[in-house]
Amino acid sequence: DGGITQSPKYLFRKEGQNVTLSCEQNLNHDAMYWYRQDPGQGLRLIYYSQIVNDFQKGDIAEGYSVSREKKESFPLTVTSAQKNPTAFYLCASSPSGASGANVLTFGAGSRLTVL
Amino acid sequence: GQNIDQPTEMTATEGAIVQINCTYQTSGFNGLFWYQQHAGEAPTFLSYNVLDGLEEKGRFSSFLSRSKGYSYLLLKELQMKDSASYLCAVMDSNYQLIWGAGTKLIIKP
């Protein structure tokens, strides 16, 4: 079955540590996205990539980094520079980036807690 | 600034009908999306509207009025499994999605 796999589902981190969240898709989608979801707020875009070896900052990129070395993979690193990293992180993909009916397929999410 | 407003929480009874409203102010418009998200799970796509009017898909319908900056999601014959958050999102002129905070729908027997 085609879909998006995020891992780990739950992650605990000490302050000052970097952590990498995995996102893999087998949908052959060109575009991939990372969102952050906090209670009472809409999804906020961290980074997105419309093609391999290229990515753009979203609205809240500070303290995060990504890579897109393969079409299927778009890992997110939460660095120690991110001041409030505890959140639910969602990875998504779509066939292409800039089109109207751009339906996103989401992964099941990764919940990061900083101790 | 860009803004999407939807009620924080709604309660309805099993078997009834509920309407979840979404109003928006964005820089341009390239369509409006509704997603369903069960607690702790991935959002899943429900509907997409780009022209004014009603789109019906089984028990779910979505309406759009571009002149009023308004949409609603109508859920009929409510079932307990419809208890979830419903997210409204608008694609702006740069093809960026602007998301509402979501409406948590509680279904009571």
**How many contacts (CB atoms, under 8 Å) link A and B?**
55
Interface residue B84 vs chain A (CB under 8 A): no
Which H or E element spans position B7? none
Which has the closest alpha carbon to A52: A12, A93, A22?
Answer: A93
Q: Encode pLDDT of A63-107 as tens digits.
A: 999 999 999 999 999 998 888 999 999 999 999 866 667 899 999
Which chain A residue has the Cα nearest residue B34?
A: A103
* pLDDT value of position A98: 66
* pLDDT value of position A40: 87
pLDDT at A30 over 80: yes
| B102–A98 C-beta distance less than 8 A | no
**Of A42, A106, A111, Cβ closest to residue B100:** A42
Interface residue B69 vs chain A (CB under 8 A): no
| Alpha-carbon gap, residue B53 to B74, rounded angstroms | 13
Strand duo B97-99 + B84-91: pairing: antiparallel
Which residues, at least 6 apart from A7, have a Cβ–Cβ distance to it below 8 Å?
A21, A22, A110
- For A21-55, the DSSP string reads EEEEE-S--SEEEEEEE-TTS--EEEEEEEETTEE
Are A54 and A69 within 8 A, CB to CB?
no
CA angle B96, B53, B62 (to 5 degrees): 65
B chain contacts of residue A105, beta-carbon cutoff 8 Å: 45
Are A107 and A92 within 8 A, CB to CB?
yes
Beta bridge partner(s), residue A62: none
B chain contacts of residue A103, beta-carbon cutoff 8 Å: 33, 45, 48
Name the token pair of B101: 């905070």
Q: Encode pLDDT of B28-47 as tens digits.
A: 999 999 999 999 899 999 99
Interface residue B41 vs chain A (CB under 8 A): yes
